[in-house]
Structure 1
Amino acid sequence: MAGLTTGAPTPQSITVHEQSRVLEVVFSDGAHFRIPFELMRVYSPSAEVQGHGPGQQVLQTGKRDVTITALAPVGNYAVQPSFSDGHDSGIFSWNYLYELGRDAQALWADYLDRLAAAGLDRDAPMAPKARGGHGCGGH
């Protein structure tokens, strides 16, 4: 287990559920998470999503129906999913997967808050390099 914090939970099993669009992860400490693909996609740890510094995050939309088409192992510490929208540059460490599973409700609430603040709907298509938008507010 080189590279992992001693005692840190590691996945005992990882299952891609295509129909329900969740990644099921069972960790060595007994934690069992079903992480929605959409949550993984909008919180991808890639520079494309996170940007290159604080406040540089790119708000992701239109990811409700995204699926994982492949899941590649990265050493003994992470997986790299390929998503159906072509995104494949996020490397999800065991610690990050654990945090996504553990904090899913809070992360989801934060995502919805950020969408609302931007005047966007989660099903809005991704705008190329959009700078916010004005939101019509008429629905």
Structure 2
Amino acid sequence: MFALQRAIRSIHTAANPPRLTRFSLQPPKSVEVEFSNGSVFNLSAEFLRIYSPAADSKVRSVGGEKVIFGRRHVGIMSAEPVGNYGVRIVFDDLHKTGIYTWDYFYHLGSNKFTLMRNYIKTLKKHGLSRDPPRRK
């Protein structure tokens, strides 16, 4: 019964996400977003960077999978509003082309633990790390 209710809620919120009521940049490590349904999500810079909606987010193709790795210590330098629907985040690795919509923030926050778990599994599968490569 509980699983069914959660599935129905998930389908409903995916089709009609709540309205953003607060966006708080907490540089260099996170963004906090709050929505009209009371949901509050603290999203780390690393998490936002690896799930950047940009097409050119310095992705490495490993075995046909696109994988961003080595971003554990990435920071957020700034956030610039884009219209009234989102924000462009500028990271200290100079990535700045992704526009995070309010709906995308809700998706990331609602699925944060599953997304991060899947990301870590993918890194392990390819022998990659969240830590940046050591300089020689």
Shorter-normalised TM-score: what interval? 0.7 to 0.9
Richer in helix (by share): 2
- Give 1:13 shift: 1.2
The gaps in structure 2 that reach 5 residues or longer are: 1-14
The reply to whether residue 59 of structure 1 matches residue 64 of structure 2 is no
The gaps in structure 1 that reach 5 residues or longer are: 1-5, 126-139
Match of 1:14 among 10, 23, 38: 23
Count of residue pairs brought into register by the alignment = 118
Q: 1:62 to 1:78 in 2, by over 3 A?
A: same
SS class of match (1:86):
coil
TM-score between the two structures when normalised by the length of structure 1: 0.75
- Give 1:124 shift: 3.8
1:41-120 to structure 2, matched below 5 A, reads 41-49=49-57, 58-120=66-128
Q: Is the 8 A contact 1:9 1:28 kept in 2?
A: yes
Richer in strand (by share): 2
- Give 1:7 shift: 5.9
Q: Is the 8 A contact 1:50 1:57 kept in 2?
A: no
Q: 1:90 to 1:57 in 2, by over 3 A?
A: farther
Taking every aligned residue pair, what percent have the same amino acid on both sides?
36
Q: Is the 8 A contact 2:46 2:71 kept in 1?
A: yes
SS class of match (2:57):
helix
